[in-house]
Structure 1
Amino acid sequence: MTSINASSDADRVPLTAAPASSISDQDSPLYLREIASFAHQVTGVAVARDGRIFVNFPRWTEDAPISVGVLTADGDVRPYPDDEWNSWRNAKRDQLSAQDRWVCVQAMLCDSQNNLWVLDPGAPAQAFVVPGAPKLVRIDLATDSVAQCIAFPLDIAPQGSYLNDVRVSPDGRFVYITDSGTQGAIVVIDLESGQMRRVLDGHPSTQMDPSVTVHANGAPLRRPDGRGVEFSADGIALSRDGVYLFWQAVKGKTLYRVPTEALRDTALSCDEVGERVDKVLEHGPADGLHFDRAGRLLITAVEEHAVTVWDGESLATLLHEPGLQWPDTFAEGPDGSIYLTDSRIPEMNWFKPGNPDALPSRLLIIAGGEPSGAG
């Protein structure tokens, strides 16, 4: 069995059990508790209804030995669903098929039908899209086997695309995906008919905002050649009733939404869908979005080392942790617990030459009460 290390603290909580209750039930101050650490850069996290925790490691700077894994009770990461799906390597890209292996997994989601959805934009280093690699894979969590593999053709995932995050409608019929690549868009899939299309492709709401510069610790976050953080439509959230889809560009300051009926209506032109888009909130660069059980929108404030919360009227800071380098992706556990990855993007050697390719990262949980020891 291949594994990559997580934290080895003997007092860590069992990773198959959700260790905290819904944050909406907490009266005490909230803080972040580390429940696992990794030798490689993590982005996505998903939690099954049986409490199993899944994580993914994109191929941004290195060939991580595992792309998609499940955390074991002792804190290791086991390849998921098996070693074969995790066997693709950059050095062997001409020898291994990309259609049935993880190439550069970015995000995951557990749905209400007991499936794990794995989104693979197929673009290592967020660059060249490997032919045949972009796909959305559904794994049946009851059998731990691949039940469906949706391949994205070039008109859905063209060169320059980077499919970033995914949501599934409450009835399990529709899938919504953000493209944070050079031209932002929303991808909509009708799982019943098999139809898929790019909507809001090039619309201002899905594009990078040229007036925004993303900062880290108060300084512009740039590569040595001057390029900054250049992600289009990235974070995505679906209202609990499935009526509205929300998204934001990382290189942006505006949260947008659109009625999902407009995204599903194939009779609407691109311009007509665009006319249904609303500006919701102006704040600053953000990555992960998630609606909690109280109907509040959680937002990762990447410049502030914080998580903010929007209740439909006002924006407030839910928690602030100076050690939180890049709050990335939320996931909700079966009891309402909120998990969060810290992908440490500002520490990548893209922005800090000399830092190692393999960047250690963490999985955290939002907890209430007083912090006590390492965990």
Structure 2
Amino acid sequence: MSLTSRFFSSSLLALAIAAASQASFATEATPLPADAPADKSIGQLDQVFAFHDAMPTGITVTDNGRLFVNFPKWGDDVAFTVGEIREGQVFPYPDAAFNREDASDPAKGLISVQSVVADGKGRVWLLDTAAPGFAAPKPGGAKLVAVDLASNKVVKTLVFPANVMRTSTYVNDMRFDFRVGKEGTVYVTDSSVSGPGAIIVMDIASGNAVRRLNGAKSTSPDPDFIPVVEGQQALVTKGPDGKPKTLTVASDGIALSADGKTLYFSPLSSRHLYSVSTALLRDPSVSEAQLSAAVKDLGEKGASDGLEADANGAIYAGDYEHNSIRKRFADGRWKTIVHDPRVLWPDTLSIGPDGYLYFVANQLHRQAGFHDGEDLRDKPYSLLRVKIDAAPAPTH
């Protein structure tokens, strides 16, 4: 046999062996076993309530265990924008009439509430964006409403003054401190999707307010941030030119330290946690440049749509990219306390008097606006809780 013939025969033999090997490999493959090593869940979750109608965003637990929730008008059929969970149902709060917009006076009646917070002093506050669907807020409609928990009656309404409002303003979350100011101070995030983010500082007695950290790096979306949820890029919408565009959201989650001296906050479109002295926030002699320089970047915590603080100096943050809740200890250490595939977009955190951390899992990222008009949410949405053996940070 010639050298060429031998080489040709050897090549054919090698190819035949390789083909046989591949065929054998292909026929031997089996589906991945159900008990193969997999991602492990963390934390024992309880479902407190299941929502079968409109999507909730906010939850608060009072010091005697009452549960309040809100439903912003983002496209769902919202029968009432604030409710109380009791007797296995959600009832409009404080009543059905107040949950209807007053066309003659935007300051009266609720338009679209984004957040509810119990203040530790016998009231629950309702944060009305007056901006259904993230539209420009209706003039004179964005407001804070305090409801007395004993009488279930509105006892105070604070309309955001024009000097802190922009056509792009979307007031999102709030924290109270009754240790400063005649009747206390409230800090509110502007989580605009098209304009500057900010921290709005309002004096409760007078209703006077100022915008701080307006358009600062710490209150603005991270330009390099690309959210990934359930393994896919999330919050993708269509831009004015019809091309895909990721929705960006400014300062969102907010938490006040147990001593009231530090405010923690973060843009929704970011993985970083920021903090700043509340004394500097309230001081009109401190310039915006000085205030921005005083902000501390506390590093990455995960992407959050809600923050909370406890009485021991810890901060809790949702991590919507990883179906998780994380805890930052007073010394700066982080620990994941919840990681579960059912925690689909954790939104808003509230610590109850029972030592549980309550939060909503509302599948926000599955809304039709992010999926070419197809609503991928799978009802029910859930109000969940996990034991943390801690009390809420005091407000007074």
Distance in structure 1 (CA, Å) of the matches to 2:334 and 2:62 = 29
Counterpart in the other structure of 2:26: none
Selected match of 1:180 from 165, 172, 191: 191
Structure 2, gaps ≥5 residues long: 1-41, 389-396
**Is this contact kept in 1: 2:301–2:326, CA < 8 A?**
no
Name 2:341's counterpart in structure 1. 322
Q: Which amino acid aligns with 2:164?
A: I
2:310 maps to 292
- Structure 1: distance between partners of 2:249 and 2:135: 12
Equivalent residue, structure 2, for 1:214: 227
Question: Runs ≥4 in structure 1, deviation > 4 angstroms?
Answer: 356-360
**Map of 1:301-340 to 2, 5 A cutoff?**
301-311=319-329, 312-340=331-359
Query: Is the alpha carbon distance of 1:285 and 1:159 closer, same or farther for their aligned partners in structure 2, counting shifts above 3 Å?
Result: same
**Judging changes above 3 Å, is the alpha-carbon distance between structure 1 residues 194 and 87 closer, same or farther for their aligned structure 2 residues?**
closer
Query: What is the alpha-carbon root mean square deviation over aligned residues?
Result: 2.0
Q: Which moved more, 1:54-63 or 1:291-300?
A: 291-300
SS in 2 for 1:271: helix
Give the corresponding residue for 2:65.
Answer: 51
Q: Provide, for residues 86-118 of structure 1, a one-character-per-residue CA deviation record: whole Å limited to 9, x for no partner.
A: 123xxxx8x464211111111111112111111
Higher helix residue share: 2
Question: Which residue identity does 2:299 align to in structure 1?
Answer: L
Q: CA deviation at 1:316?
A: 2.0
Map residues 34-73 of structure 1 onto 2, 5 A cutoff. Answer: 34-38=47-51, 39-73=53-87
Letter in 2 for 1:116: V
Write the distance in 2 (CA, Å) between the matches of 1:113 and 1:283: 31
**Structure 1 residues 66 and 356, CA, compared in 2 at 3 Å: closer, same or farther?**
farther
SS of 1:223 mapped into structure 2: strand
For 1:47, give the aligned amino acid: V
| Residues 293, 336 of structure 1: 8 Å contact kept | no
Partner of 2:381: 361
Q: Which residue of 2 aligns with 1:198?
A: 211
- Give CA deviations for 1:17-67 in whole Å, capped at 9, x if unaligned: xxxxxxxxxxxx732211111111101111112211000000011340010
Q: Percent identity?
A: 33
> What SS does the corresponding residue of 1:286 show, helix, strand or coil?
coil
TM-score normalised according to structure 2 size: 0.80
Give the match for residue 392 of structure 2: none
Structure of greater Rg: 2
Contact 2:253–2:305 (8 Å) recurs in 1:
yes
Q: Provide the residue aligned with 1:115 in structure 2.
A: 123
Following superposition, the deviation at residue 262 of structure 1 comes to 0.5
The higher relative CO (CA closer than 8 Å, separation ≥ 6) is in 1
Give the C-alpha shift of residue 327 in structure 1: 0.3
Contact 1:108 1:119 in 2 (8 A): yes
Does the aligned pair in 2 maintain the 1:59–1:125 contact within 8 Å?
yes
Q: How far, CA to CA, are the matches of 2:143 and 2:259 in structure 1? A: 26
* CA 1:265–1:229: 2 relative to 1, 3 Å: same
Aligned length: 335
1:289–1:329 contact (8 Å) kept in structure 2: yes
Q: Partner of 1:147: helix, strand, or coil?
A: strand
Cα deviation for residue 357 of structure 1 reads 9.3
SS in 1 for 2:112: coil
AA in 2 matched with 1:248: S
Distance 1:101 1:227, change over 3 A: farther
Q: Deviations over 1:283-306 (max 9, x none)?
A: 432111111233211110010000
Q: Secondary structure at the match of 1:257?
A: strand
Letter in 2 for 1:350: G
Q: Give the superposition deviation at 1:154.
A: 3.1
Question: What amino acid does structure 1 have at the position aligned with 2:249?
Answer: F
The residue type paired with residue 200 of structure 1 is L
Amino acid at match of 2:218: S
Which deviates further from its counterpart, 348-357 or 135-144?
Answer: 348-357
Where in structure 2 are the equivalents of 1:1-375 lying within 5 Å?
Answer: 30-38=43-51, 39-73=53-87, 75-88=88-101, 95=103, 97-171=105-179, 173-181=184-192, 182-221=195-234, 222-224=236-238, 225-311=243-329, 312-352=331-371, 353-355=373-375, 360-367=380-387
Contact 1:248 1:255 in 2 (8 A): yes
Other-structure match for 1:5: none
